[in-house]
A and B are shown apart, each in its own frame.
Chain A
Amino acid sequence: MSRKTLTRRQFVAATAMSSAALISAPYVRGAYAAGKLSIGFWDHWVPGANKASTDLVNEWAAKEKVEVSIDYITSNNKKIELTAAAEAQAKSGHDILQMPSWWPQAYSENLEPLNDVMEPLLKQNGEVNGTVKYLGQSGGKWLAVPATPGSQIKGPCSRIDLMKKHAGIDVQEMYPAGGAPKVENWTMETFLKAAEACHKAGVPFGIGLGETTDSVDTAGAIFQSFGAELVNAKGDITVKTDQVRQAMEFYKKLIAFLPPDAPSWDDASNNKWLISGRGAMILNPPSAWAVAKRDAPQVAEQCWTHGFPSGPKGRFAPYLPYFWGVWSFGKNKEAAKSLLVHLSAPSSIEKFVAVSGGYDLPAYANMNKFKTWEEEGPPKGTLYHYPDPHKHQTLSIAASPAPPKIAQQIYFQATLTKMALRFARGETMDQALAWAEGECEGFMRS
């Protein structure tokens, strides 16, 4: 009879191997066989809108057997930017992080390429506009997937009554609900005349001249409509051009008709301006209208969201897409990609749009005709033109087409609003341009 004896050495080795196997394979277990996934989503302004994300994620997690945890991170005081910076430095954090417009480019080295996710999505949902490509792609590599929640156009939201009474403009006729826009006369000149008339009537346009995104986005669209670029796509400084001078002259005239404290406005100021009934127009997504519906219904029922006026070089509307990025150091990248496909399915996108009351804008060409925008009110049809269903304007971001890492600095240092304000406050054109040129030279650091 032969009996195999277990030596002390064999026993220790066997125990160590089984312990190591147990520790290194914690995810292989019944209910959550496909592991864990940690997600950082933007905390939505619209009450209840986060629920759509939670439901969609849970629905996917149950199907895929993944244990998920979601953190909703507010964009107030740049919490998302701080989170992204900290996670990129620590090389640890969420598997998926929702990022505002410029961040995929800023952290391009730390993001997992998502071409395998984007290519089928583009076939399924339609193409994305140039701004999404500019912000989300680098050297043919998709850095992140455009997110529907949070993505927005900051077009004009006008008071129907005040614009008709003081500026003689019927915004509903110009942008009829359910119909194509009739905008031959909706130009920067008309816009300026309307701003003057409303200023004289004591209900000036509420356009900020501060350093936060709303102010910068407006300046960006106006500059672009004059063809004014501070830095061109090649990275050359092009501040001292006729186009920039024209845009500056226009802005100086416009500033004279804006509220005197517009230079101190933040992103909440224009909303309050509209809701308080003190202004005839703001340039903002429909969040101000949504709050007015609750707090000042008499104001909300006079609001109409529509397209931007056109300048000599075209009609540009400020567009701010959000993105979902997957960190290259993430632990469950395959699961992350699978979730992003689920969140970008047409049914998911429709749900995001519906729950946000039309605030969220999908980036894809085939996704801009949902019923929500037709039906939302009062007044009914107020959001019909918000997603630009007739594609009559170029959706753009301020400081583009400069290389994104330079443009990001022009954007966040609010160079456009500052140079316009300097000129309006008494500096000569040459002084203001020289200042802006100096700033842009500083942004060339690599």
Chain B
Amino acid sequence: MADVVVERGRVARATGARKGSSLRNALGRKSTVAFFLTLPLILLILLLVLYPALYSVHLATLNKAMTKFVGLSNFTFLFKRETFWMVVRQSCIFAITAVVFKALIGFIVAHFVHNIPAKGQRKWRGMLLVPWVIPPAMSTLAWLWLFDPSYSAFNYTLSFFGVGPIPWLGDTFWARFSVILVNVWYGAPFFMIMYLAALKSVPDQLYEAAEIDGANWWQKIWHITLPMMRNIIAITTLFSLIVTFANFDIVRILTSGGPLDTTHLFATWAFQVGIQSSDIPLGACVSLFMVPILAVAAIFILRDVNKRGNEA
């Protein structure tokens, strides 16, 4: 009997020791530490991103009075609205045009800054980042004054050359041009700084070798710079596409979606429908339409990044 007790005690101790050591091992593992370190962020994302996202899905399935479940009928209702398809088209025009110009300008300016001697480069970098650092709602108010019908500084300047006045925000073409211009002005520095960082990581030897082979500047860009920057270009484009698609403040402040709804984006129209017209379920539906569009873009762009990562 006593032997058995001793045996049991020994077995129990051994199991306890094993459990203790496996817990210690688990806690000591790098992945566990990393998990605990990121846990506050994960909780924040769950609280501030996942919960509102799921809540908006729930809202999108309610009727206007928010009293009963209507399934997908809000979505089918939207499909029949002319303004909705106009908003889809405009959001695509806005996001794609703005991202292309931001990328192009960012790429060119990054090259200029890269070629400035290291001593003066910091000043230029700082100055060029200013538009991106100012809160967009504030800088857009300044742009609003520049486009203002009564006091437009642009029209005042153009009047000296016998041009204008241009209805910057009153005509569909000019209004779209203006909102895209402000978005490009605001977002190009982000591309510039990302591309500059990528440029700095391209080894100089590659350019030297290309020079010896007699490559001209275009061949150097096409065969060295662009391939070396592919991943950063893809990721920057994706991030910017998401942010630009979801833009709200620039359009809201400059045009409120006008004239004749021709500058509305998903977010501004969702606000108008959901908050101003008190149709929160329909507003939630409009904003949820961004998700599949951006998800498709994300899949394509990130798949490409993975492929290249594997190649590397």
Contact = CB atoms under 8 A, between A and B. Distances in A.
A409 B277 contact: yes
B35 interface: no
A266 B82 contact: no
Given A259-B149, A435-B82, A266 B256 contact: yes
Contacts of B276: 78, 81, 412
B277 A211 contact: no
Contacts of B255: 264
Interface stretch (A17-25, A146-154, A269-277): A269-277
Given A435-B82, A445-B77, A446-B64, A269 B259 contact: no
Nearest to A271: B150
A434 to B, nearest CB: 10
Chain B at the A interface: SS class:
loop
Interface string B217-256: 0000000000000000000000000000000000010011
Give the size range of B's interface with the partner. 35 or more
A277 to B, nearest CB: 10
Contact of B277 (A89, A413, A438): A413
A316 B261 CA distance: 28
A438 B82 contact: yes
Contact of A264 (B65, B168, B282): B168
Contacts of B168: 261, 264
A82 B170 contact: no
A264 B278 contact: no
Interface size class of A (residues with CB under 8 A): 35 or more
B167 interface: yes
Contacts of B259: 209-210, 263-264, 421
B257 interface: yes
Interface core residue of B148, B175, B277 (most chain A CB under 10 Å): B277
A446 B150 contact: no
A276 B151 contact: yes
Contacts of B275: 78, 81-82, 85
A261 B164 CA distance: 12
Contacts of B170: 260-265
Contacts of A421: 259-260
Nearest to B147: A264
A54 interface: no
Interface of A: 77-78, 81-82, 85, 89, 102, 106-107, 109, 209-212, 259-266, 269, 272-273, 276, 278, 405, 408-409, 412-414, 418, 421-422, 425, 435, 438-439, 442, 445-446
Interface of B: 63-65, 77, 81-83, 148-151, 165, 167-171, 175, 252, 255-261, 271-273, 275-280, 282
30 contacts: A85-B275, A106-B278, A107-B278, A109-B65, A209-B259, A211-B256, A211-B258, A260-B165, A260-B170, A261-B165, A261-B169, A263-B170, A263-B171, A263-B258, A264-B149, A265-B149, A266-B256, A269-B148, A269-B150, A273-B150, A276-B151, A405-B64, A413-B272, A421-B259, A421-B260, A422-B260, A445-B77, A446-B63, A446-B64, A446-B65
